[in-house]
Amino acid sequence: MGHSLFSSRSAVLSLSVARGDMAEPFWSRDTFIRWRFLHVLSWGLRAVLVAVIIAIGVLAWAVARNVLSFPSLDAGEPGAGRVGVIAGHWESDSGAVCPDGLQEVEITLAVAQQVVALLQSFGYEAEILAEYSAELPGYQADALVAIHADSCLPDRSGFKVARAAHSAVPEQEDRLVTCLYKAYEESTGLARDGDTITADMTGYHAFADIAPQTPAAIIEIGYMGGDRQLLTARRSRVVRGIVAGITCFLQGKD
């Protein structure tokens, strides 16, 4: 009891000595509030600074990632070209179906819509076409690309591109195929699955319907089984690859 009374007295004493030494009260209510305010403010500013630095870092990373891993896309001249894009199976049937219900047509329609939108944003006159569109007979364009996806086999991966077996413009169509192969490979990292090109591809119904002078190709963008992640969650790479392939062809870069 006596000891604690002594301690509190000496504490009061030392505090009053300290006050006496200072021109202003060292620890008044006002200075405490001011100190708390500056303290909170400085930590707040530090937090803002750190957030800004992180945001700049993330932005730089995103830009670098795009620049490094996507094929370059140049805007076309106004009226740079007319492009038809067939969404495989659309308005016809489901195409391949996975055990969990994922349908090929869901993938091809979403990809075709985004390809058309991106081409339009670059100044091309692009349009989406159904599998058996009434516009296909005699269709005239600077390029026509049909988009399909392969089966749901879980252990298969890869993409492939083909043109008509009997083409009226073989040099042009070979260039279109070459451009699509290069750009799609670069954008997606998928391997070429060229050994499985079938008569379904080289004898694709639209090749026989369109005007013979319209350069056309069909691309199987990957397997719904082994390449499912790419075709669903990383679809922008699929879209960029196809668009870069088409613009490569239209701009004469191959």
Where does this chain bind Zn ion (CB under 5 A)?
88, 95, 148
Give DSSP secondary structure letters for 166-232: S-SSHHHHHHHHHHHHHHHHHHH-PPB-GGG--HHHHT-HHHHHS-TTS-EEEEEEEETTTTHHHHH
Cβ-based nearer residue to Zn ion, 131 or 142: 131
Minimum distance, C-beta of residue 183 to Zn ion, in the bound complex (Å)? 21
Q: Cα dihedral sign for 55, 61, 63, 65?
A: negative
Cβ-based nearer residue to Zn ion, 82 or 148: 148
| Per-residue tokens: 47 | 């937090």
Minimum distance, C-beta of residue 159 to Zn ion, in the bound complex (Å)? 13
Instruction: Reduce the DSSP state of residue 128 to 3 states and report it.
Output: strand
Minimum distance, C-beta of residue 246 to Zn ion, in the bound complex (Å)? 19
Cβ-based nearer residue to Zn ion, 89 or 175: 89
Are the CB atoms for 184 and 235 separated by under 8 Å? no
Cβ-based nearer residue to Zn ion, 97 or 211: 97
| CB closest to Zn ion, residue no | 148
Minimum distance, C-beta of residue 107 to Zn ion, in the bound complex (Å)? 10
